[in-house]
A and B are shown apart, each in its own frame.
Chain A
């Protein structure tokens, strides 16, 4: 017979591998980043072990080079703002496209759903760079869209789409769309479609069925999908770099810059933690709104 103490010990023993990995791969690096953000930048990168809050200071403020007056760091703030704005837009567009897509797949006969899911998944197996270049091929000045429009005589000169916020949003939307479709599809597949029939039967029009029955029931999937799209969008690095061409910097690019050409590791570390904080705040808002949605009717 096992005693309670033995059971307790076994439980910890079984948790050890997971705890080890979490400590080494998540908590440890995070701690290093926090420590680095309070150190002084070395001249050729790296850090000097002298305590300093300069990095945190320059996350949001900048000291004038000549008269040493303080002002908000417009460059950083505009990058924060752009990151949040484009990530929100990506999430909204991904939902607007992903929801009907998931609905379409969930309403196919069961044996045909796998085929449609495969079509959603195939791009996901392709390298991120290749997918991003594919989008670029479509919207660049000599790309598919501009060529067709010019051949049709609808426009005289190509529309500049690359290196704009639109391009960055489009790229991120395309890359992260499956992350929106999958969780919505999962909750929709679990949904009892006789509830939809019941609502139709009780005089609800198509729009009302959507708003009053389908949307509330797939809300957990929609929230999960939104988080899965918003969070990586906020930290996106490759897509803004290619689609934005260095003109539309996002947080990920700014951080990379500090660890690379900027040679300001403490600032990079402070920006990383700022990004993490924004993600945490966004998650808390999401979770709160999801909880409110559920308890509202309770």
Chain B
């Protein structure tokens, strides 16, 4: 278990000072696949490097299983890292790379040999054991980097955008592979990525970061269905933003009045307490087209066919374009035409009030 409290990091001093991390509070559970998600420069890598020991936080505390980490150098922390560029030792073979951590820990040769063999099997690299790291492909280097970091059986494995250098197909394979490794080893994974899809498919929980702060922590479904802030809703998946007026708000349920005058039930974010005018988020697949006189009325501007589904772009007064996504059925007939006046409906509770 990693407990991080009040962690801040300021680079530089005076006018050029830059706050990379601002009051980070998060508890990462045992055996969890935890993802730090955010755009580049949001502080996710700085947070990861703070856990590894390569960045000295300016303030705050960081413990692993109750043990203080900040007073320890990187080589005394029960934490291993898979680096973005893999950082494999070019003057060592695959097997020597994997055994390096155990060797530094002073383990006996026989133990190193058997663990390295296990690790080579785990990442399916046994035939490559005696190759130099320059003689294997990018995907294989990725596996060796994983095996090297897992071999000393760390309490926590840190992964710094490890899949970003791989091509699309290999990335999909490695996503499944990483998930498998995590459940087989039972080690806590802290994964850094800017790829929202990667985060959603792999994580137990996700922390969405922006400008050195954590905006929201939750499971993939939680984050996707109930983004607390506009940034989160926008960064993860596609979203329609609709301005509305807050009527009542109690127990996480809000009643909001749409510009059409109709009132609909929406989830309010943790902390609640919104003022009169708010923005609500509606996922394109949660909305359906209906007859005019629905929650929102507008003019159908565009129909975009995607194969698996069709997107309807609807324009209405004073609102950004609203997108409705409909899954295509083999025998479906297109009833709508560009220029039609249509209505948009969505179920109570699918809309989310955003904190600004």
Contacts and interface: CB of A to CB of B under 8 A. Distances in A.
Contact of A201 (B74, B89, B92, B96): B74
Interface in A188-217: 192, 194-195, 197-205, 208, 212-213, 216-217
A203 B105 contact: yes
Contact of B80 (A201, A217, A298): A201
A51 B100 CA distance: 64
Contacts of A200: 53-54, 73-75
B170 interface: no
B132 A197 contact: no
B102 to A, nearest CB: 9
A151 interface: no
B54 A197 contact: yes
Nearest to B132: A298
B75 A297 contact: no
Contacts of B46: none
B152 A202 contact: yes
B87 A195 contact: yes
Contacts of B90: 195, 217
Contacts of A212: 100
Contact of B148 (A202, A213, A217): A202
Contacts of A213: 89
B85 interface: yes
Contact of B91 (A198, A201, A202, A297): A297
Interface residues of B, number: 28
Contacts of B93: 297-298
B333 interface: no
B104 interface: yes
A202 B101 CA distance: 4
B116 interface: no
Interface in A63-81: none
Given A197-B74, A297-B96, A203 B104 contact: yes
Taking residues whose C-beta sits less than 8 angstroms from the other chain, chain A's interface range is 20 to 34
B81 interface: yes
Interface string B88-132: 111111001000110011000000000000000000000000001
Contacts of B81: 197-198, 201
Nearest to B151: A202
A198 B104 CA distance: 12
Contacts of B75: 200-205
A7 B90 CA distance: 38
Contacts of B91: 216-217, 294, 297
Among B74, B80, B92, B105, residue most surrounded by chain A Cβ atoms (within 10 Å): B74
B143 to A, nearest CB: 16
Given A203-B75, A203-B105, A298-B132, A198 B96 contact: no
Given A195-B89, A197-B54, A198-B89, A208 B83 contact: no
Interface in B130-187: 132, 148-149, 152
3 closest A-B pairs by beta carbon, nearest first, are A202-B101, A198-B87, A203-B104
27 contacts: A192-B85, A192-B87, A195-B87, A197-B52, A197-B54, A197-B83, A198-B81, A198-B87, A198-B88, A198-B89, A200-B53, A200-B74, A201-B74, A201-B79, A201-B81, A201-B149, A202-B75, A202-B101, A203-B76, A203-B104, A203-B152, A204-B75, A204-B100, A212-B100, A217-B91, A294-B91, A297-B96
Interface of B: 52-54, 73-76, 79-81, 83, 85, 87-93, 96, 100-101, 104-105, 132, 148-149, 152
